[in-house]
Amino acid sequence: MDLAFPADDTGSNLDEGAPRHPPRTILVVDDEPDLVAVVATELRCAGYRVLTAANGRDALERLGREPVDLVLADVSMPVMGGHELLRIVRSEHLGLADLPFLFLSALADRNDVIAGRQLGADDYLTKPVDFDLMLAAIAARLAAANRGAERRRAEVEEFRLEILSLLPHELLTPLTRILGWASLGKRSAERCACDIPECLSIAQALQEIDLGARALHHLVEGSIELVRIHGQPTRERQPTEIGDLVLGAVNVAKAHAAEAGVHLSAEIPDGLPEIDTDAHLLGSALCALLSEASKGMLRGDTVAVRIAWADARLDIVIERRSTAYPGRCGMTSLGIGSALAAAAAKALGGTFATTPVEGGDVSTLTLPGPSGAPLRSA
């Protein structure tokens, strides 16, 4: 026999003038269509979005497709009952382990209530339904779930800050020592005009140690900055000369490009007005992005940086072209620099994307910006 269940909501019945917050979603699971219709109406009138399912199996399918804030389920249903549904939700779906779950059942026997509690039910309401009690129980369980989520977020943030406070010293201090000794060894080897193969091998080894340590130092600094900005508000935005900021990042990256034999150039518009931004965050992202732009490239390859804009859009474009990729789209991933640029762009209200093109790729960091002037090469 086909049972006619009420249609699911795409919204709630809140007044048009009420503050527009996403309505919380309640999944009602029961094999009695008339009861489901009445319960759904009460929930909609209270401002909730309602989904329905006729049994536990249908409910699991709904939970797998759509986010739900609370489940209100009968105990005795065909195909799969409420107790089995709750057992599966709590034991086999880790993402739903903390989902508030209330039973609404005609089975008021003490043993049934105890069984539901032992499986992890948050509350147990009985039929006939006391709607005021039902709405109060739902509101209380959703509030408790919010408090639990906030507490977990606070714990994660505390751990993140603790790790962030340890990383700079624990990682950068030994790296700085390696860089210092490698640099001293390189200079000593360069002053020693020796053609002995063993000496040349040592000098080459020191060179490789220095390059590797610098790359690791750059990776660690980028990772620390990425952890710092994740989920955090940006610093106070100040008027910033965007052209000077980009040129500063280009000058920092030229040493990396020179070591790889890659030609790095910049094309900056004249007369760019200042824009309000977090200069430290944007500068760190650009330095990381440009410093690793020569990764995987050959001597004679090129990295070109330019700024373009129209109306409220400002693009910082990095185009990499390599003879190692003739007729081929895409190059080696930009790694931590790309991740840092994407995070910075998001924090500053912009976007970041890398597009493969023939012989290389083009990365574009888009920010809110001013409008047009002639170009200047640098």
The tens digit of pLDDT for each residue in 310-327 reads 767 889 999 998 876 665
Residue 375: band (very low, low, confident or very high) from pLDDT cuts 50, 70, 90? very low
Handedness of CA 225, 149, 346, 235 (dihedral sign): negative
pLDDT on residue 309: 78
Residue 374: band (very low, low, confident or very high) from pLDDT cuts 50, 70, 90? very low
Distances (CA, A) of 227 to 157, 163, 169, 378: 11, 9, 15, 33
The tens digit of pLDDT for each residue in 182-200 reads 777 777 766 665 666 666 6
pLDDT on residue 138: 93
Question: Between 185 and 356, whose confidence is greater?
Answer: 356
The tens digit of pLDDT for each residue in 22-77 reads 789 999 999 999 999 999 999 999 999 999 999 999 999 999 899 999 999 998 89
Map tokens 């699991």 to a residue: 60
- How many Å apart are CA 12 and CA 48, to the nearest integer? 6
Instruction: Write the single-letter amino acid at 297.
Output: M
Residue 127: band (very low, low, confident or very high) from pLDDT cuts 50, 70, 90? confident
Determine if the peptide bond prior to 128 is cis (ω within 30°).
Answer: yes
Instruction: Tell me which residue of 34, 78, 71 sits closest to 54, measured CA to CA.
Output: 78
pLDDT on residue 14: 44
The tens digit of pLDDT for each residue in 202-215 reads 777 777 777 667 66
Residue 153: band (very low, low, confident or very high) from pLDDT cuts 50, 70, 90? confident
pTM over 0.75: no
Question: Between 237 and 113, whose confidence is greater?
Answer: 237
Q: At what angle do helices 82-92 and 56-65 cross, to 10 degrees?
A: 40
Residue 19: band (very low, low, confident or very high) from pLDDT cuts 50, 70, 90? very low
Map tokens 């026999």 to a residue: 1
The tens digit of pLDDT for each residue in 68-111 reads 999 999 988 999 998 899 889 888 876 787 889 998 877 666 67
Mean pLDDT computed over 248-254:
86
The tens digit of pLDDT for each residue in 256-271 reads 788 888 999 998 888 7
Mean pLDDT computed over 132-142:
92
- Asked if pLDDT for residue 142 goes beyond 80, the answer is yes
pLDDT on residue 33: 93
